[in-house]
């Protein structure tokens, strides 16, 4: 159950007010900067002021997101639900290193049992805690499709070409339709690990929720590794990121390639009407994918776009009025993924599309934990592993913006 205290609410509302005030200050300073540029009287101090406020906005937004995330976590110290046999044995193993109960249970399991030197399967409740904590901080996991599987590879059939069709009269002869081209995309899972450390004093403290502690400690490491892999992973020892696929200019791509729109300027937006290229990117996917479309970029690219205005003088980037919700750009939500590239020569720094239909994450069921009290005395290490895969499942659903001349 999610519990939000009065202090949480007050802190979040106060941070939200400060953030919105900072954005108004940013707009005022940026308007002055643009007016100076139009009057051919560029002001270095104004440029520095805008950059300073822009950076402060990023920091305040990050702090606001942390507050919102903290308010969503369950309160500690609540009465625990009755423990089952597996959970009781797992907690005994975590706290005291007594693996007899877990070993006996896993010996009975046919499909998921394993050798003690590989660790023991965490209870389902612990796995759910880790996955829930991971989703709350992993930007791509929040917007992609996620599927649980029981094997090391998930094979997804896809239609390469549709069957022939057409209109005919009531008594006209029907031409034989061709069979659709069907292929399969493999999504292998790779091993992801984290190794949090705990003191024996913490483990002996019965008030500490050890399962929640493990979820909290592993989420940051798992999220950092996943975030990089889902964006640019090589697909060999890690999931394949959507930026690792072959690309081609929009309209010339074939199956297995992702289409891109070029800015027309190497390493930059066009000097005149730079926002026009964002409209081109939005309308690159078909309408079916625009309905649930969103932008994905890192914080520095957001900072650059935050200065853009439309013909009426309104800013294209708009902050969310709700803590924890994404800002919007041209009416579409913006997901900040710090592993997206900065703007540079030939960089692919912005993605747009329906990531739920375009990118698939596969989680193999089962989180393993190996207790190691020897390697870092007096601390106890918990070598925690899970298997994760990922890749593009629909190449039409995601489009890229390439900062190049063509």
pTM of the model: 0.80
- Determine contact, residues 33/46, Cβ cutoff 8 Å: yes
**E-assigned strand segments in 257-342:** 257-262, 294-297, 317-318, 328-329, 332-336
- Determine contact, residues 342/299, Cβ cutoff 8 Å: no
Query: Crossing angle for the helix pair 85-96 and 210-232, nearest 10 degrees?
Result: 90
Ramachandran assignment for 264, one of left (phi > 0), alpha (psi -120 to 50 degrees), beta (any other): left
Q: Please state the φ and ψ torsions of residue 201, each to the nearest 5 degrees.
A: -60, -45
Residue 300 makes CB contacts below 8 A (sequence gap 6+) with: 342, 343
Q: Which CATH class is domain 120-161+181-298+337-406?
A: alpha beta
Domain map of the chain by residue range? Answer: 6-72, 120-161+181-298+337-406
Q: Give one DSSP letter per residue of 46-114, joined into a string.
A: HHHHHHHHHHHHHHHHHHHHHHHHHHHSBPTTPPPPPP-HHHHHHHHHHHH---HHHHHHHHH-SSS--
Ramachandran assignment for 328, one of left (phi > 0), alpha (psi -120 to 50 degrees), beta (any other): beta
Instruction: Assess whether the previous peptide bond of 22 is cis (omega < 30° from 0).
Output: no
Residue-level pLDDT at 35: 79
Per-residue pLDDT of the chain (406 residues; tens, 9 = 90+): 344 444 466 777 777 778 778 888 888 888 888 777 777 776 778 788 888 888 887 777 777 666 666 655 544 444 444 457 888 899 999 999 998 888 777 766 544 444 556 789 898 888 988 888 888 888 999 999 999 999 999 999 877 665 566 777 777 776 666 656 677 899 999 999 999 999 999 999 989 999 899 998 998 899 999 999 999 999 999 999 999 999 999 999 999 999 999 999 999 999 999 999 999 999 999 999 999 999 999 999 999 999 999 888 999 999 887 766 889 999 999 999 999 999 999 999 999 999 999 999 999 999 999 999 999 999 999 999 999 999 999 999 999 999 999 9
Tally of CB atoms within 10 A around 356:
17
Residue-level pLDDT at 113: 44
Residue-level pLDDT at 51: 83
In Å, the largest CA–CA distance within the chain is 86
**How far, in Å, CA of 249 to CA of 180, rounded?**
26
Which residue carries 């069921």 as its tokens? 365
């Amino acid at each position: 159950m999610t519990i939000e205290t009065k202090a949480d609410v007050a802190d979040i509302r106060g941070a939200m007010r400060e953030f919105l005030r900072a954005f108004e200050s940013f707009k005022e300073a940026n308007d002055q900067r643009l007016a100076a540029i139009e009057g051919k009287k560029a002001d270095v101090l104004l440029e520095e002021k805008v950059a300073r406020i822009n950076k402060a906005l990023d920091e305040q937004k990050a702090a606001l997101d942390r507050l919102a995330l903290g308010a969503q976590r369950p309160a500690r110290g609540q009465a625990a639900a009755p423990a089952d046999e597996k959970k009781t044995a797992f907690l005994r193993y975590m706290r005291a290193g007594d693996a007899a109960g877990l070993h006996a249970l896993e010996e009975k399991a046919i499909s998921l049992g394993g050798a003690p030197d590989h660790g023991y399967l965490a209870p389902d409740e612990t796995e759910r805690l880790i996955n829930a904590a991971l989703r709350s901080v992993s930007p791509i996991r929040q917007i992609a499709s996620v599927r649980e599987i029981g094997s090391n590879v998930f094979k997804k059939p896809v239609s390469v070409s549709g069957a022939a069709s057409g209109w005919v009269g009531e008594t006209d002869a029907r031409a034989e339709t061709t069979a659709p081209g069907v292929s399969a995309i493999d999504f292998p899972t790779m091993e992801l690990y984290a190794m949090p450390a705990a003191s024996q004093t913490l483990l002996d403290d019965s008030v500490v929720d050890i399962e929640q502690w493990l979820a909290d400690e592993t989420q940051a490491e798992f999220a950092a590794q996943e975030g990089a892999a889902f964006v640019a992973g090589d697909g060999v020892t890690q999931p394949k990121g959507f930026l690792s696929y072959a690309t081609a200019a929009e309209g010339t791509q074939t199956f297995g390639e992702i289409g891109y729109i070029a800015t027309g300027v190497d390493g930059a937006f066009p000097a005149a009407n730079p926002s026009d290229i964002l409209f081109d990117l939005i309308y690159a996917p078909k309408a079916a994918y625009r309905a649930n479309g969103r932008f994905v970029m890192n914080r520095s690219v957001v900072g650059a776009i935050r200065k853009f205005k439309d013909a009426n003088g309104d800013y294209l980037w708009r902050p969310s009025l709700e803590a924890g919700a994404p800002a919007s750009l041209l009416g579409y939500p913006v997901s900040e993924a710090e592993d997206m590239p900065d703007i540079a020569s030939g960089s692919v720094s912005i993605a747009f599309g329906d990531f739920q239909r375009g990118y698939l994450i596969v989680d193999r069921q089962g989180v393993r934990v190996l207790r190691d009290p020897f390697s870092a005395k007096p601390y106890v290490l918990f070598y925690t592993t899970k298997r994760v895969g990922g890749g593009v499942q629909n190449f039409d659903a995601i489009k890229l913006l390439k900062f190049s001349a063509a």
